[in-house]
Structure 1
Amino acid sequence: MKLYPIPTGNFKLDGGAMFGVVPKTLWQKTNPADENNLCSWAMRCLLVESGDRLVLIDNGIGDKQDAKFFSHYYLYGDDSLEKSLHKAGFDFSDITDVFLTHLHFDHCGGSVKYSSNGTSFEMVFPKAQYWSNQDHWTWATVPNPREKASFLKENIMPLKDSGHLSFLEVGQQQFLPGFDVTYVDGHTDKMMVPRIQYKGRTVCFMADLLPSVGHLPLPYVMGYDTRPLLTLQEKEAFLNQAAAENWVLFLEHDSVNECCTVKQTEKGVRVDQVFPLSAL
């Protein structure tokens, strides 16, 4: 098995929204904000090469939204999904599976593009099956008012209409040999967190369970989470196991740190080391 980080670009979000009830005087120590209270975030995906399967975990925000939409998120940097795949030696048509941790636009927007006529949609990865689970699909396609703006129909419905959509059974713990799945419900219903066996280590793709190193303290929970107290419980259990078993946490949204390990301290689980995935 081989793993390739796939950075798809950076964006900015309000620091208060990203840290919920935690005061700015605390969170800005690890995630400094600009004059508009915006912090920088990555959209870092992961490519898994396993036998004849080439699995892309999440795919960033995409490029099909209008200028008004993108003006809210201040996209910046030279990275893109296409550039990063090419750097790893692959093209869109090489991808066999797209594993979507959840269907918020910054995680699945790169799934679908406008066709050449600009009036219909087509799959960015024409040979791939796109993976979600039935519970999360229902949650996303009949959205609650709180999350409605994060579940964009043009990102989601073409997956089903094209025939490229597949579901893991809820509770299915293995996607591929060496690629297991944990389900969490605090951020959004039935978000999937991959755990991959790689070079004798467990690499966890943290999605929005742990957006950044700055979110390690338990109360540091995003304002976007639908069930913040549940996130706190899920994060505590996950981080305790990560510390006990020396897991590598691959960070999708940390704009500085690609991976970290954690350890137990008198203040709870805290960062131990930070490093790129290539250091393994």
Structure 2
Amino acid sequence: MRFGEIEVEILRAGTFWLDGGAMFGVVPKPLWERVAPADERNRIRLAMNVLLIRAGGRAILVEAGGGAKWDAKRRQIYGFSENDPLQGALAAKGIADAQIDLVINTHLHFDHAGGNTRADNGRIVPSFPNARYVVQGAELEHAMQPTERDRASYVSADWTPITEAGQWQLLSGDAQILPGVCVVGIPGHNKSIQAVIVAGGGQSLFFAADLIPTRHHLPLTWIMGYDLYPVKTLETKRKWVAEIVRRGWIVVFGHDPEHAAATLHERAGKIEFEPVSLDS
């Protein structure tokens, strides 16, 4: 889909499985299981949705998926593929790793930043050798010294090689990345997570990351148990869902395995979604 001079596509960086109770927090299982059935281990299937943006002669990724650095134990726990599906998706578009100019990480949890790096002859190196990796500076600092509660969400191999290669572009708050592409803070999941907004040609897109991970998280109080600051998530979600509805923006869900993008409408006090394809 084109947004003025900007072209945006959604790539699938694979699927994985997380505990359904953790994904829906205080929402009782009889409610969430109606919309997201769990397997015998109480896990629900999730996607890792990535944006490919082409603008001003640049190729930009929003997120990098989970990558392929996982050992057998973690592949068994999370259901990650042995290969990196994002690499295959890019190859299918005729895009080489070296042609990616920017990688915007909304935050550095392993399911969003694992594909930042890859194994190469026993070493871990940046997956995109010519790219600048864009993240909030506060997020990188937190990733290096996480709390006991969220340290399992961070893997140092996802960012240390980027630091060593000098490929970071660290931000401090909301910022324009290039004309028509900006990032805004969406605190709640953690303090320094950011969303990406693409605007052009009278249309806008909001990449919601883990603020609204799936369409099933559109109800304001359906908040992940993973969120460090759930009351802040509620406040942030209320603000941005209202904005998306009011302005008629497209929203992209970071983890929805069936409907990655949608428009939102308020009817009888409820937020409803209408799936959108960005292929046109």
- TM-score, with normalisation over the residues of structure 2? 0.94
Say yes or no: does 1:253 pair with 2:255. yes
Out of 9, 13, 26, the residue aligned to residue 14 of structure 2 is 9
1:52, distance to aligned residue in structure 2 (A):
2.0
Aligned 8 A contact 2:183 2:196 in 1: yes
Whether 2:279 is the aligned partner of 1:278: answer yes
One-letter identity of the residue aligned with 2:269: K
Query: For the residues of structure 1 that align with 2:84 and 2:201, how far apart are their CA atoms?
Result: 27
| C-alpha distance in structure 1 between counterparts of 2:81 and 2:221, whole Å | 29
Distance in 1 separating the partners of 2:200 and 2:43: 35
CA separation of 1:69 and 1:78: change in aligned 2, threshold 3 A = closer
What does residue 176 of structure 1 align with? 178
The count of corresponding residues between Structure 1 and Structure 2 is 275
Indicate the RMSD between aligned Cα atoms, in angstroms.
1.6
* CA deviations over 1:116-152 (Å, ceiling 9, x no partner): 1x1x321110111111121111111111111101111
The answer to whether the Cα contact below 8 Å between 1:4 and 1:88 also exists between their aligned partners in 2 is no
Q: Partners in 1 of 2:83 and 2:75 — Cα distance? A: 16
> Residue 148 of structure 2 aligns with which residue?
145
Cα distance in 1 for partners of 2:64, 2:137 equals 20
- Post-superposition Cα deviations, 1:190-234, rounded to whole Å, max 9, x if no partner, equal 111001015531111111010011000011000000000100110
Distance, in Å, in 2 between the alignment partners of 1:100 and 1:42 is: 16
Equivalent residue of 2:159, what SS? helix
In structure 1, how many angstroms separate the alpha carbons of the residues matched to 2:9 and 2:111? 19
For residues 116-127 of structure 1, the aligned pairs below 5 Å read: 116=121, 118=122, 120-127=123-130
Q: Does the CA-based 8 Å contact 1:262-1:271 persist in structure 2?
A: yes
With structure 1 as the length reference, what TM-score do the two structures score? Answer: 0.94
User: 3-state SS of the aligned residue for 1:16?
Assistant: helix
Deviating beyond 3 angstroms after TM superposition, the runs of 4 or more aligned structure 1 residues are 76-79
Looking at structure 2, the residues matched to 220 and 79 of structure 1 have their Cα atoms a distance apart, in angstroms, of 30
The corresponding residue for 1:266 is 268
- Judge conservation of contact 1:100–1:130 (CA < 8 Å) in 2: yes
% of aligned pairs identical? 34
Secondary structure in structure 2 of the residue aligned to 1:185: coil
Aligned partners of 2:16 and 2:46 also within 8 Å: yes
1:88 pairs, out of 90, 93, 100, with 93
Structure 1, 100-109 or 67-76: larger mean CA deviation: 67-76
Q: 1:181 to 1:201 in 2, by over 3 A?
A: same
Change in 2 beyond 3 A, CA 1:4/1:239: same
Superposed, 1:186-201 pairs within 5 Å as: 186-201=188-203
Counterpart of 2:63 in structure 1 is 58
Deviations 1:91-125 (CA, angstroms, capped at 9, x unpaired): 11110111111000000101111221x1x321110
Unaligned runs of 5+ in 1: none
Q: Conserved in 1, the CA contact under 8 Å of 2:70 and 2:80? A: no
Q: CA deviation at 1:272?
A: 3.2
Q: Which string of whole-angstrom CA distances, capped at 9 and with x for unpartnered residues, describes residues 162-189 of structure 1?
A: 11111123232x1110012110220012
Find the partner of 2:233 among 223, 231, 234.
231
The letter for the 2-side match of 1:16 is: G
Distance across 1 between alignment mates of 2:164 and 2:70: 20
- Residue 145 of structure 2 aligns with an amino acid whose one-letter code is V
1:88-167 correspondence runs (5 A): 88-116=93-121, 118=122, 120-167=123-170
Give the C-alpha shift of residue 48 in structure 1: 0.6
Residue 78 of structure 1, CA deviation = 9.1
**SS of 1:277 mapped into structure 2:** coil
State how far apart, in whole Å, the 1-side matches of 2:83 and 2:14 are: 7
Aligned with residue 245 of structure 2, among 243, 251, 255: 243
Runs of 5+ in structure 2 lacking a partner? Answer: 1-5
CA contact (8 A) 1:95 1:125 kept: yes
Task: Note closer, same or farther for the CA distance 1:79–1:124 as it changes in structure 2 (3 Å cut).
Answer: closer
